Amino acid sequence: MDAETRITELLVRADEIVKAAPARRDESAVIGQAGEVLERARDLLDEVTDDERRRALASQVSRRIGDLDRALVASFAGPSPGVRRAPTRGVEPARIPPNQHLTAGFPVLHVGRMPDTPDQRWTLTVTGQVVERRRWSLAQLQAMPTVTDRSDFHCVTGWSRLDNDWTGLRVRDVLELAGARPGATHAIVAGHPAYTTNLDLEVLRRDDVLLAWAHDGEPLTREHGGPLRLVVPSRYGWKSVKWVTEIRLLDRDVPGYWEERGYHDVGDPFLEQRFR
């Protein structure tokens, strides 16, 4: 059976579970089961060789996962709980983008479930417009040359957290190992459960763009995207994909999860590019 047929079967199976939900008592168990089936379908997407078909199936998978997310997370926008404001006194005003305030803590923001994949089974795949599709385990990534970079983090919901010390790998180095094809201009970065965002390669190759596994000297916690997250300081936080599993290079710009829902394709906080 080819990947396409298997994916279609898994989609139908997930729909079945969801449609059976009203007859059951535990909604979150239903969401969990359907989510697992959809994650299996998503894992097979890479095996669909036809670009057009893969895109169509990917959007069917992510739309369904999105539906589960909406069932789990009633509201995402607006001030997040746990955001305590910090005084801006003594902070260089130019560091704070328009209409942002500083936060004292480190809020947790995401749609959908956190993955429970153990670190030993975590992999990162670099694929798409590359010379060679590559996949590394977390241990392999952590054996590569490591950097620590201090940067500011700006969430589109209004909070900014300054002076984050991120430790990990430069995305640029990982891209070099896979080899970007000449036509590659953009990337879709994917993280669990079906979260994606688009970035252009020029940004991804900057010094401060990391695949991080530590924050402020401590191992990155699961809720903040551990064991591996993308960090893109020059863009709003939604571009900093948590639980990152794949970087797919493309020869065009394709919107990700929030971009499909109206957020800006670029997302520069200093230009206040929140929505299109």
Ligand X SMILES: Nc1nc2c(c(=O)[nH]1)N[C@H]1C(S)=C(S)[C@@H](COP(=O)(O)O)O[C@H]1N2
**Which parts of 127-156 interact with Mo ion (CB under 5 A)?**
155-156
Of the pair 106, 272, the CB lying nearest ligand X is at 106
- Whose tokens are 């500083």? That residue is 102
Give the C-alpha separation, 4 to 16, whole Å: 18
Rounded to 5°, the CA angle 190-194-195 comes to 55
Smallest distance, Mo ion to C-beta of residue 157, A: 5
Q: Which residues bind ligand X (CB under 6 A)?
A: 106-111, 155, 191-192, 195, 224-225, 237-238, 240-243
Smallest distance, Mo ion to C-beta of residue 259, A: 13
The single residue among 195, 238, 243, 258 that binds Mo ion, judged by CB under 5 A, is 238
Of the pair 186, 239, the CB lying nearest ligand X is at 239
Establish if 225 lies at the interface with Mo ion (CB under 5 A): no
Residue, CB closest to ligand X: 237
Smallest distance, ligand X to C-beta of residue 228, A: 11
Report the candidate in 192, 218, 70, 47 with the shortest Cα–Cα distance to residue 121: 192
Establish if 44 lies at the interface with Mo ion (CB under 5 A): no
Buried b (16+ CB within 10 A) or exposed e, 190-199: bbbbbbbbbb
Which amino acid type is present at position 72? Answer: L
Which amino acid type is present at position 224? Answer: H
Smallest distance, ligand X to C-beta of residue 254, A: 17
Q: Which range binds Mo ion by CB under 5 A, 89-97, 124-132, 141-149, 230-238? A: 230-238
Smallest distance, ligand X to C-beta of residue 190, A: 8
Which amino acid type is present at position 205? Answer: R
Of the pair 156, 249, the CB lying nearest Mo ion is at 156
158 dihedral zone (left: phi>0; alpha: psi -120 to 50; beta): left
Of the pair 191, 227, the CB lying nearest ligand X is at 191
Give the C-alpha separation, 62 to 193, whole Å: 9
**Which parts of 52-111 interact with Mo ion (CB under 5 A)?**
109
Counting Cα atoms < 13 Å in the Cβ hemisphere of 259 gives 19
Give the C-alpha separation, 213 to 229, whole Å: 7
Q: Interface residues with Mo ion (CB under 5 A)?
A: 109, 155-156, 237-238
